[in-house]
């Protein structure tokens, strides 16, 4: 038998005491100082819990959130993004935040920012309530995900979108575009994107993001890449390409040489991926916590 005094809770254990005193009728006045809940006490509180049945409806009607008793008030417009990130982190399984998340997608498009967590949260809510799905918003999310390549965000989004939705436009086109990007088919990609301007140009920054991805893949693969291959990958030709190359030479250390066939060869910056000798050989590195085993011996 133990009595722990002090603090908010005082638990009195006794052989005769039931585990928790929570009969509808039962507040035993003799067992004072013991922490229990009774339906009576609960019904007095603002977050009153109705009878146990249909807790789901209770959760929705009373908006019982994980932090019991904490209301999320709608914030002023300029604070929306901060609040949305908070919502997604703390209270993501709540159908009420759906409009906030939709607004946040539009904000990401307008301000050229990106939040995978918020977008996945929205797609999840669409999955729970398919009748609220907005094709336009989903298309925007997918375009944003394409721009995040090489991260696999596009696939992550597709996992949450029902098959029959994926078979409609513009999703069919977006999936084709993604396939081309995943398999290095840049020429086909730019051709297809040109045919679907209305989809991709709705999101500012799309072209630059894809060009950055193309340069990334080229940098992984080539030490020296022919000008024609580069041009095809980033969809820039002629004078515009010369200007682009100038910028890259100045900012990123690209070097333009003359190739054997007379065309230009661009030497890309050295990284561990296209220059294996630069790869840090971590195979033989011994982690510090292993060395601590022999500290007693060394001392």
Q: Determine the distance from the C-alpha atom of residue 237 to the mean position of all C-alpha atoms in its chain, rounded to a whole number.
A: 35
Nearer to other proteins (CB atom), residue 120 or residue 236: 120
User: Torsion angle, CA of 219/225/231/232, rounded to 10 degrees?
Assistant: -80
> Containing H/E element for 211?
helix 206-221
Distance of CA 262 to the CA centre of its chain: 46
Between residues 13 and 82, which has the closer beta carbon with respect to other proteins? Answer: 13
The minimum distance between CB 126 and other proteins, in angstroms, equals 9
In three-state secondary structure terms, 197 is helix
Least Å distance, CB 137 to other proteins, is 17
Is the CB of 74 or the CB of 150 nearer to other proteins? Answer: 150
**Distance separating alpha carbons of residues 242 and 171, to the nearest angstrom:** 35
Say how many residues make up the chain: 299
CB atoms within 10 A of CB 138: 23
Task: Tell me phi and psi for residue 257, to 5 degrees.
Answer: -120, 175
Cβ closest to other proteins, residue 219 vs residue 248: 219
Q: How far is the CB of 38 from other proteins (least distance, A)?
A: 10
Residue among 184 and 202 whose Cβ is closer to other proteins = 184
Residue 201: CB minimum distance to other proteins, A: 25
**159 versus 195: smaller Cβ distance to other proteins:** 159
- Which structure tokens are listed for 111? 């301000």
As measured in angstroms, the least distance from the Cβ of 128 to other proteins is 5
Could you tell me the smallest distance in angstroms from the CB atom of residue 244 to other proteins? 19
Q: Which of 275, 214, 281 is closest to 248 using CA atoms?
A: 214
């Amino acid at each position: 038998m133990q009595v722990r005094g002090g603090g908010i809770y005082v638990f009195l254990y006794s052989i005769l005491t039931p585990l928790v005193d929570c009969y509808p009728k039962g507040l035993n006045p003799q067992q004072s100082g013991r922490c229990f809940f009774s339906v009576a006490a609960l019904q007095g509180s603002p977050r009153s819990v109705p009878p146990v049945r249909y807790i789901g409806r209770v959760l929705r009607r009373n908006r019982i959130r994980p932090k019991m008793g904490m209301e999320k008030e709608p914030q002023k417009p300029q604070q929306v993004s901060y609040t949305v990130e908070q919502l997604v982190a703390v209270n993501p399984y709540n159908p009420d935040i759906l409009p906030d998340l939709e607004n946040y997608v539009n904000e990401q498009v307008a301000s050229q920012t990106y939040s995978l967590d918020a977008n996945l949260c929205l797609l999840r809510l669409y999955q729970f309530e398919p009748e609220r799905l907005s094709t336009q918003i989903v298309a925007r999310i997918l375009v944003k995900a394409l721009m995040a390549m090489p991260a696999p965000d596009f696939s992550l989004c597709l996992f949450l979108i029902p098959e029959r939705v994926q078979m409609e436009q513009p999703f069919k086109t977006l999936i084709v575009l993604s396939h081309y990007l995943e398999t290095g088919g840049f020429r086909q990609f730019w051709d297809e994107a040109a045919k679907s301007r209305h989809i991709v140009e709705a999101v500012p920054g799309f072209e630059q993001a894809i060009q950055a991805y193309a340069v990334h893949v080229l940098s992984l693969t080539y030490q020296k890449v022919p000008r024609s291959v580069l041009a095809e990958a980033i969809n820039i030709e002629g004078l515009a390409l010369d200007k682009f190359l100038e910028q890259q030479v100045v900012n990123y250390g690209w070097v333009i040489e003359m190739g054997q066939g007379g065309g230009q060869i661009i030497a890309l910056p050295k990284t561990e991926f296209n220059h294996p000798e630069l790869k840090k050989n971590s195979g033989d590195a011994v982690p510090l916590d292993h060395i601590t085993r022999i500290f007693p011996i060394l001392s």
